Chain A
Amino acid sequence: MKPALLALACLLLASRPAFAYRIFVSNEKDNTITVLDGETLNIVQTVDVGARPRGIVLSKDGKSLYICTSDADHIEVLDLATLTVNRVLPAYKDPEFMALSNDGNTLYVANENNSQVSVLDIPQGRIVSEIPVGVEPEGMAVSPDGKTVVCTSETTSMVHFIDVATHTVTASVLVGTRPRFAVFTKDGDRVWASSEVAGTVAIIDAHSHKILHTIHFSLPEVPKAAIQAVGINITADGKTAFVDLGPANRVAVIDTDTLAVKKYLLVGQRVWHGAFSPDQSLLFVANGVSNDMSVIDVKALEVTQSVPVGQAPWGIAVAP
């Protein structure tokens, strides 16, 4: 290689930022994904995507981000190397949230407007099955063994257990009003499901489908109607859960052994969903009204920073 070309190559390599990890935030009002450098928390790029991006999920190989663009009625695939949308996957009307199968080849998509979960084969790029569930499905999660999918339906106030092999609902569990999010514990034995209007989290036995416990939240200075449980993040060691409480503007910290609330952290306004940094030292949460992302120190249980992002941030994903 000629010296000039070599110098140019070195310059290009040197000028390309080496990210330890990146944070992706969907902004439902301005139709963008904000991309931040996880170390500096500076915005690297703002990517235009389809209308009303909400649920976002990272592919298993970490190379793509799946985006529910709800008002565009499809799912966009953001290539994380080039930060461009390079593929569009089909969906029914108003896809809001989704979960990825453990092999990374199937997306289970909650279609809010037609009361069904669609099963999307990613390599084929087509919907291979539709599973009727309750009205206004939203929260989606896949069990650690990959055999079960759960879906919450907001209007029916249920958590539906779906058998992956047969694509049928095997159990429906009545929970608090307007359940919006569900997550399996790492051992697959329990499902934590948050209910927005009830302001509670139900802990369900994933095998017997019985509710084992319901967590209630109480902030004396905050009206009960403002305590709206939405996103849940459980640490990898399974010891601590963080529950986003919407317009209470708090994240509740829960000891998973005692199921007691240890602390309430004041964050931005209408906190929706969150994601941990790869080393789990930080939790990032999206605040839908204050248009920012709060940074929580997981060990100290303190809010350390607020970072402005786009308009009406909704979902967060972290790519190592």
Chain B
Amino acid sequence: MSGRLALLAALALLAPLAARAQPQPVDPDWPCAQALVPVLEPGAYWDGPVPQHTAWRDDETLFALVPDIVNRDTPDREALAKLNDYVATISPADRAQKLPLLFSAIVDETNDERTPLISRIEQLGRRQRLMGNVVGNISTKADQDPASDPNHGAITGERDFDIRAFQETQATMRYACEAPVAMERRLGMFARDLQKKLHEK
């Protein structure tokens, strides 16, 4: 059975059940394989409570440090070294109180960088979804008998161009989807390092 036939058969088989289906909606514009987590929260990375630290930008040291280490242009090793240099200035007695606040600030800054990125990926997904419709329509026209339409040559040219544009965007999608993942990975790296420091005697 060809892929298309299998898909049609599957849809026919499942249509009555699917009509009754009421699963929660998935964002149609989110193009990445991994389900979207719109906002990162400290609790996903930290064992124990993390108080919100909304005023961290008022602290000159943190204001200089946090955006620098969250910045994706700063290599992991350099970012960790800067974080550790700062943590070394905090006395062991103060760490239980200050390290969760520091992590809260890092999550806050990561979200500030990540949120516009998520929006751009959603825009890309939306554009691609619409482009898929365009490709579908123009392909239907191009599949018609060439003799019936004097513009058939122009239509197939347009179809080929649209398909190429769609495929090129699709190829970049996987890379685009990696960017938020890289930010989450970096955040996890900071969390593990800070929690280790927290438990050091």
Q: Mark B16-57, 1 if CB is under 8 A from A, else 0.
A: 011011111110000000111111111111110110000000
- Per the CB 8 Å criterion, the residue count for chain B at the interface is 40
Contact indicator A249/B45 (Cβ below 8 Å)? yes
Partner of B42, one of A156, A174, A221, A266: A221
Partner of A225, one of B6, B35, B192: B35
**Bound complex: CA of A172 vs CA of B181, how far in Å?**
34
With a cutoff of 8 Å between Cβ atoms, the chain B residues found around residue A115 in the complex are: 6-7, 10-11
Count how many pairs of residues, one from A and one from B, have CB atoms less than 8 Å apart in the complex: 119
B197 CB to closest chain A CB (Å) equals 16
A290 CB to closest chain B CB (Å) equals 5
Partner of B44, one of A114, A132, A222: A222
With A114-B3, A177-B23, A248-B44 already in contact, the answer to whether A269 and B184 are too (CB < 8 A) is yes
- Per the CB 8 Å criterion, the residue count for chain A at the interface is 45
Contact indicator B181/A157 (Cβ below 8 Å)? no
Contact indicator B188/A269 (Cβ below 8 Å)? yes
B12 CB to closest chain A CB (Å) equals 8
Contact indicator B10/A221 (Cβ below 8 Å)? no
**B9 an interface residue at 8 Å Cβ cutoff?**
yes
**B13 an interface residue at 8 Å Cβ cutoff?**
yes
A223 CB to closest chain B CB (Å) equals 5
With A197-B35, A198-B23 already in contact, the answer to whether A134 and B14 are too (CB < 8 A) is yes
B53 CB to closest chain A CB (Å) equals 15
B145 CB to closest chain A CB (Å) equals 29
B143 CB to closest chain A CB (Å) equals 21
**A298 an interface residue at 8 Å Cβ cutoff?**
no
Chain A binding surface SS class: loop
Contact indicator B26/A197 (Cβ below 8 Å)? yes
**Bound complex: CA of A176 vs CA of B41, how far in Å?**
24
A302 CB to closest chain B CB (Å) equals 11
A308 CB to closest chain B CB (Å) equals 12
B193 CB to closest chain A CB (Å) equals 12
22 sampled A-B residue pairs with Cβ under 8 A: A93-B3, A132-B9, A133-B10, A134-B10, A134-B14, A135-B7, A156-B14, A156-B21, A158-B17, A176-B24, A178-B26, A197-B24, A197-B35, A221-B44, A221-B50, A223-B37, A223-B40, A228-B35, A247-B37, A247-B184, A268-B188, A269-B184
Residues of B in contact with A (beta carbons under 8 Å apart): 1, 3, 6-7, 9-11, 13-14, 17-18, 20-26, 34-47, 49-50, 181, 184-185, 188-189, 192
Residues of A in contact with B (beta carbons under 8 Å apart): 92-93, 113-116, 130, 132-135, 156-158, 169, 172, 174-178, 195-198, 219-223, 225-226, 228, 246-249, 266, 268-270, 289-291, 306
Besides A132-B1, A134-B10, A198-B23, 17 other A-B contacts (C-beta < 8 A) = A114-B6, A132-B6, A135-B11, A156-B14, A172-B17, A174-B20, A177-B26, A178-B26, A221-B43, A223-B37, A225-B38, A226-B41, A226-B44, A269-B184, A269-B188, A290-B192, A291-B185
* Ranked 6 nearest A-B pairs via Cβ: A221-B43, A177-B23, A132-B10, A114-B3, A157-B23, A115-B10
